[in-house]
């Protein structure tokens, strides 16, 4: 018996060992393909068999993610020194700390073979990378297809870096040089003329490029994504040349203030596969460009941003006062209806009290006259003036409409002024971007004050005109009913008296 139990224990241990060595690593190898790299590295410490299994599976180590990591430069060198990263294809150093040119030079000397298959390199926000580091990268990465140096404003990558990139990477597919302020037309021109397979080009926040450079974008016949946000020197001629990129699907023209309908119409006619188009802040476009887009891109265009395009009638602030005025008129009518219903409830209570006293017939309401403004059946938002010549609205209604008119006038004028004056000043004034926002508020403030005063005066007048017109029509109808009722009563009384005499 003891021998059998001992055999079972040994068999269980052997089965568990087999499970740990074979089954668990195979299962985790399948699952780990969906894990983040940091979690994957933690799994290496679980067991020797799992470590050996995961390390021997190359597809798990094609990406090296050091995004927002401290001391990322040394970690990059140490990681690429390991055999499992010898086939790495993507390195992400976005906003990583401690990445300098020296680290890429060290990689060039220590393990250049680890980067021979690299295709994607993200250096966004790496402020200590300069032309020296880019030169080291291009000397050891022969197959780079996606390169990003977003927001390099400290050490400033210059035109020489773009010249080296254009020389070494003819098959480059994506380039992001957002806010690399030291670059000029000369450097970007090398990319446009050499990298004909480029599909993604991000020139965001680079307002100093000239229209001559934008015209050369037409050489990129495979281009699908183009971001020109803030391109102040872009003209309709440059946009017409860009329209030759027939495969363009996403185009960002935000704050390209020199563009008009002619350029957008050229894009609509040339780039018929557009899925995204931003015209934000362009004051020179009108409904004509929208008509052209609707004719040619209606089947593919999914997103169209026209905020701030005051030339488009459907978005013009001139229509907003009418909408607010109509809305306020509806509210006023609703208030009148509610007050009238309250007055009717008071009249019903009076009539019920008269019914209980039994003097309803002997105290008819038609004798005082149904058309008088003090009649309980009539609306009571007006008070007769002391001289009895005209009706005026009550002080409560006058004050309420005056405050509402001032507020509506101030708000509408401010909104209209911001959407009209600021873009006008941005187009006319030359200088820093904050200059229109400094020169615009004083005239906007004066315009808002004048509009508030006008609204505070005009709205009470309109309210009095509306209420008194309502009273006049109501009084005439009630007076006519009163005369008819009186005639009926007099005819009835005379007939009753004749019957009694007979």
Neighbour-count burial for 146-180, b at 16+ CB within 10 Å, e otherwise:
bbbbbbbeebebbbbbbbbbbebbeebbbbbbbbb
**Cα–Cα dist 256/73, whole Å:** 38
Calpha distance 443→328 (Å, rounded):
27
Chain-centre distance for alpha carbon 39: 35
| Pairing assessment for the beta strands 391-393 and 382-384 based on DSSP bridges | antiparallel
- Taking the C-alpha atoms of residue 231 and residue 254, their distance in angstroms, rounded to an integer, is 8
Angle subtended at Cα 258 by Cα 253 and Cα 264, rounded to the nearest 5 degrees? 55
- Contact, 192 vs 172, CB < 8 A? no
**What residue ranges in 312-462 does DSSP mark as E strands?**
382-384, 391-393
DSSP 8-state assignment for residue 387:
T
Here the tokens at position 198 are 């480029």
CA dist list (Å): 197 to 109, 226, 244, 354, 469: 31, 14, 15, 94, 73
H or E segment at 175?
strand 174-176
End-to-end CA distance of the chain: 138
| Mean pLDDT split into 10-residue runs, the chain, 502 residues | 57 61 60 63 67 72 89 92 90 92 91 89 91 92 92 79 94 94 93 95 93 95 95 94 95 94 95 94 91 91 89 58 50 52 45 46 40 41 54 74 83 81 76 77 84 85 80 74 76 74 65
pLDDT of residue 13: 61
For 233-306, where are the alpha helices, taking DSSP H only? Answer: 236-242, 261-270, 287-296
Q: Tell me what pLDDT residue 26 has.
A: 63
Query: CA of 447: how far to CAs of 66, 378, 410, 413, in Å?
Result: 54, 41, 8, 7
Residue 373: which region, alpha, beta or left (left: phi > 0; alpha: psi -120 to 50)?
Answer: alpha
**How much is the pLDDT for 18?**
63
User: Which CA distances in Å does 199 have to 217, 228, 247, 268, 443?
Assistant: 11, 14, 9, 19, 46
Query: What pLDDT does 384 receive?
Result: 52
R_g (Cα) of the chain, nearest Å: 40
Cβ of 499: how many Cβ atoms within 10 Å? Answer: 8
Q: Which two tokens stand for residue 56?
A: 């021997």
Which distant-in-sequence residues (6+ apart) come within 8 Å of 180 by Cβ? Answer: 149, 151, 152, 153, 156, 157, 206
- Single out the residue of 54, 75, 77, 78 nearest to residue 66, CA to CA: 75
68 — alpha (psi -120 to 50), left (phi > 0) or beta? left
Strand partners, 231: none
**What was the pLDDT predicted at 23?**
64
Measured between alpha carbons, how far is residue 122 from residues 114, 128, 160, 301 in Å? 17, 14, 19, 30
């Amino acid at each position: 018996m003891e021998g059998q139990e001992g055999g079972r224990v040994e068999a269980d241990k052997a089965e568990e060992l087999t499970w740990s060595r074979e089954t668990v690593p195979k299962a985790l190898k399948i699952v780990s393909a969906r894990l983040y790299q940091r979690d994957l590295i933690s799994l290496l410490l679980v067991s020797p068999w799992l470590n050996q299994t995961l390390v021997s599976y190359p597809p798990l180590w094609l990406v090296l993610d050091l995004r927002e990591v401290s001391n990322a430069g040394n970690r990059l060198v140490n990681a690429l020194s390991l055999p499992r990263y010898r086939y790495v294809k993507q390195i992400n150093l976005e906003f990583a700390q401690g990445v300098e040119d020296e680290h890429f030079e060290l990689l060039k000397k220590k393990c250049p073979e680890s980067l021979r298959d690299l295709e994607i390199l993200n250096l966004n926000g790496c402020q200590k990378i300069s032309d020296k580091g880019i030169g080291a990268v291009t000397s050891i990465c022969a197959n780079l297809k996606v390169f990003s140096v977003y927001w390099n404003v400290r050490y400033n990558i210059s035109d020489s870096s773009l010249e080296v990139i254009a020389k070494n990477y003819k098959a480059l597919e994506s380039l992001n040089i957002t806010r690399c302020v030291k670059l000029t037309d000369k450097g970007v021109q090398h990319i446009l003329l050499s990298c004909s397979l480029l599909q993604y080009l991000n020139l965001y926040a680079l307002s100093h490029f000239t229209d001559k450079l934008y015209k050369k974008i037409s050489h990129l016949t495979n281009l699908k994504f183009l971001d020109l946000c803030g391109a102040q020197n872009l003209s309709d001629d440059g946009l017409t040349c860009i329209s030759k990129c027939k495969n363009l699907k996403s185009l960002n023209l935000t704050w390209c203030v020199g563009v008009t309908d002619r350029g957008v119409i050229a894009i609509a006619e040339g780039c018929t596969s557009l899925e995204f188009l931003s015209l934000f802040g362009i004051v020179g476009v009108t409904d004509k460009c929208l008509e052209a887009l609707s004719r040619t891109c209606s089947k593919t265009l999914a997103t169209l941003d026209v905020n701030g395009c005051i030339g488009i009638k459907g978005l013009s602030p001139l229509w907003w006062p009418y909408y607010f005025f109509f809305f306020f008129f509806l509210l006023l009518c609703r208030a009148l209806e509610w007050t009238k219903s309250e007055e009717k409830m008071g009249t019903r209570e009076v009539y019920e009290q008269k019914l209980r006293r039994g003097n309803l017939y002997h105290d008819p309401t038609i004798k005082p006259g149904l058309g008088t403004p003090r009649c309980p059946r009539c609306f009571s938002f007006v008070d007769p003036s002391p001289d009895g010549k005209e009706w005026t609205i009550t002080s409560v209604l006058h004050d309420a409409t005056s405050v509402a008119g001032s507020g509506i006038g101030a708000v509408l004028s401010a909104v209209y002024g911001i959407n009209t004056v600021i873009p006008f000043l941005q187009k006319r004034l030359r200088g820093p971007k904050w200059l229109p926002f400094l020169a615009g508020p004083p005239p906007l403030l004066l315009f808002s004050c004048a509009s508030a005063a006008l609204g505070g005066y005009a709205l009470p007048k309109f309210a009095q005109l509306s209420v008194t017109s309502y009273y006049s029509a109501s009084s005439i109808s009630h007076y006519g009913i009163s005369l008819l009722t009186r005639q009926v009563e007099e005819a009835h009384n005379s007939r009753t008296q004749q019957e009694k005499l007979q």
